[in-house]
Every structure is written in C-alpha cells, then in structure tokens.
Amino acid sequence: MDECFVLSANSTSRDLLPIAMAVHEILNRLPVTMRSKNYPGIRIENGEIKSESYTGPVLEVGLNENHIIKIKSESGEYRSIPVIVAQIRDSIGSPVAALDVVDIAGTSDLADLMSRQTQIIDQMRDCTI
C-alpha cells in the first residue's frame, strides 16, 4: 500500500516530520522548525528531533501575516539569529503551515557572516543541552 501525506491546518508534528526532515537534510542540516496553523509542530537540529510540540515567535508571525519574513528573532530558541519563515498555503492562499530555517544568507557581507559563525554555533550548542 502506498503512503499518502496530507498537509492541512490540522497537521500534527508527526504529519510534518517528513517534510521538515527533508528540508533539514537538503539545507545541510541547518536548524528547521515547522508548525501547522492549528497545532504546535517540530524543531529539528543536527539530524535529531528536538521538540514535537514546538512553536516560536517567528512561526507565529509568519502564520498570522502570511508572507515570507526575514528577521532576527527577539525571543525563543533562535534569539538574535537571522531566520526566514515561509508559508505553505492552500488553494485560496491561506496559510496552513509555516516553516523556518536559520538564514545563513541573512547577513550582508562575508566578514559579518564569519564573525557570526561562532555566535550561531555557540547558540545552537546551548539549545541542544
């Protein structure tokens, strides 16, 4: 029997896992978070599920504002780190889920990116403890 994946506003973290994990792996294991409109979702780092009941301030804003957001989160797991959130929309354009990743392209120059690398690695290490 073939499996069928359905994504909706009521998807649970288990429903979102295959998509979130695929994005995580494609992006060379950058941290990925994802949630549906009506339920908390999933946080993945270093190939591991860190939370199956995750939501964060940027995911919340992304769902409410329904447009791509590039921002440094002011709170949550990725505070002060550039992140980007995009929505997965239904056929009429309403968001059913949001997915975000650490935005490594969110810095304006290579020197700034290199100086932030230590901060990002240290913060990710702190998140996994």
CA 92 vs CA 7, 26, 88, 102: distances in Å: 15, 28, 11, 28
Domain that holds residue 18: 13-127
User: 6 lies in a domain?
Assistant: no
The model carries a pTM of: 0.79
User: 57 lies in a domain?
Assistant: yes
Cβ-count burial of 34 within 10 angstroms (0-12 exposed, 13-18 middle, 19+ buried)? buried
CATH of the domain at 71: 3.30.450
Phi, psi of 59 (to 5 degrees): -60, -45
Distance between CA atoms of residues 93 and 120, nearest Å: 33
Contacts of residues 121-127 at CB distance under 8 Å and 24 or more positions apart, as own/partner, are: 123/78, 123/79, 123/80, 123/81, 124/31, 124/45, 124/46, 127/31, 127/45, 127/50, 127/77
Q: What confidence score (pLDDT) does residue 117 get?
A: 66
Tokens of 3: 């499996």
Q: Say how many domains are in the chain.
A: 1
Residue 3 has pLDDT above 90, yes or no: no
Residue 6 has pLDDT above 90, yes or no: no
| pLDDT digits 0-9 by tens, 12-52 | 999 999 999 999 999 989 999 999 999 999 999 999 999 99
User: 70 lies in a domain?
Assistant: yes
